[in-house]
Amino acid sequence: MSKLLVEDELWERVEPLLPTPKPRRFRCPGRKPLDNRAALTGILFILKTGLPWNDLPREMGCGSGAACWVRLHEWHKLGVWAALHAVLLAELRYADKIDWSRAAVDATTLRALRGGVKTGKTPTDRGRKGTKDHLLTDGNGVPLAAHATAANRHESTQLKALVEEIPPVAGKPGHPKRKPEAILGDRAFDSQPLREWLWKQGIVPFLAKRGEEHGSGLGVYRYVVERTFAWFKGFRRLRLRYERTAFMHEAVLSVATCMVCFRHL
């Protein structure tokens, strides 16, 4: 099972980023700790199936769901997923698989069944509690930055944060790259101050305007971010929000971001 969910190519990139396990005591060493690859397998299995953590099958050899939850929490706290994201982006840039000529931005709303931090009333779902995931991709659909907010936060308020969250992407000689040449967004991002801010960053804004008829032509290029969201929804844990803490939901979102980047390699 570990070979099915955690391929050798993926594990070669993840293993150097994980913290070194503590040496066991000579006398009374206690229970042997869960293998890191098995823990990652359990994490990906829960993310893909959407099962509760405590329902992780013991037959998989991935330990308990609680142990995998703890590893996910620890690794996210140590910045493992952020480091893996940067490594994958560097490889993609080296292979010329990142299209910096344009980027696309969008957001999707998911219900928060158990409530929690960073949730709010969903305007399109009768005011039920929900979370909004924001995503910025390159012209090929490679996720450059992603984060979550309450469902009642407007998309336009998060574009600046997404641009600033793009990590420095190495992979080629010279300075790391971290800004696309242009950004495409739908009518939700219609804001003149936002356009002015993007111009100051050296980014050309192509943001649809409210009150105008459809047919701007941006959909021909913006579809990549919607396709990437469809890949994100392949992780059932991102179709509905089960995590009560915003930290753990961000951890799940970070893992999915890395897996989608790995898909482009």
pLDDT digits (tens, 9 = 90+) for 141-193: 999 999 999 999 999 999 999 999 999 999 999 999 999 999 999 999 999 99
Strands in 68-116 per DSSP E: 103-111
d(C-alpha 135, C-alpha 114), whole Å: 23
Distances (CA, A) of 144 to 100, 161, 257: 10, 12, 8
pLDDT tens digit sequence for 127-142: 899 999 999 999 999 9
Q: CA dist 60 to 10, 224, 259, Å?
A: 19, 35, 21
Tokens of 193: 């101050």
Print burial letters for 78-90: b (CB count within 10 Å at least 16), e (below 16).
Answer: eebbbbbbbbbbb
pLDDT-derived band at 20 (thresholds 50, 70, 90) equals: confident
Q: Which residue has the higher pLDDT, 123 or 239?
A: 239
**pTM to 2 decimals?**
0.93
Domains of the chain by residue range: 2-77, 97-264
* Domain at 97-264: CATH architecture: 2-Layer Sandwich (3.30)
163 Cβ contact partners less than 8 Å away, ≥ 6 residues apart: 136, 145, 179, 183, 198, 201, 203
Residues ≥6 apart with Cβ < 8 Å to 219 = none
Residue closest to 224 by CA, chosen among 105, 98, 86, 88: 105
